Amino acid sequence: MKESSLIIHLSNRQRDLSLSSKAVKTLIAAILVFEKVSCREISLYFVSKKSISDLHQEFFSDPTPTDCITFPIDDEMLGEIFVCPKVALEYCEKKGGDPHTETALYIVHGILHLLGYDDIEPGDRRTMRIKEKKCMAHLNDLGISLRP
């Protein structure tokens, strides 16, 4: 898949973390190539803590904020990913780390969900964590980061 043939719809509806649209699109394209995914479109929405909580309640009957929510569509339009950078900021305040890297992990996690990976059962969760680490290492090897 050539990056130019991929349409990435990106919406930033939050003000908690500064993010470069170009860096985000580069990251998404790199992961899709790494995973050998050939789709025409994908959508990513950065949303506030309230918005992610509202989505979580509406679709999963859970009013708590979460890192990301995904809605798979099909092979052409892979799906939609909603990511909350505020959750990344709060996580990093408690556990340490870089919120831009944490947000990148949430994007990777969302893409993996769209590709069929799950994290409900312990075995599936282990598989997803291994895949996340491989994807994040690949991004690191390529020098792709969301850090300004």
Which stretches does DSSP call E strand in the chain?
A: 7-12, 41-46, 68-72, 77-83
Q: Full-prediction pTM beyond 0.85?
A: yes
Q: Can you tell me the mean pLDDT for 41-70?
A: 97
pLDDT at 19 over 90: yes
pLDDT at 14 over 90: yes
Of the candidates 128, 50, 47, the one whose C-alpha atom is nearest the C-alpha of residue 82 is 47
Task: Name the more confident of 30 and 38.
Answer: 30
Copy the structure tokens of residue 36: 């050998």
Domain ranges of the chain: 3-142
Task: Name the more confident of 28 and 120.
Answer: 28
pLDDT at 138 over 70: yes
Q: Can you tell me the mean pLDDT for 78-107?
A: 98
Average pLDDT of the chain to the nearest whole number:
95
CATH number given to 3-142:
3.40.390.30
pLDDT (0 to 100) of residue 4: 55
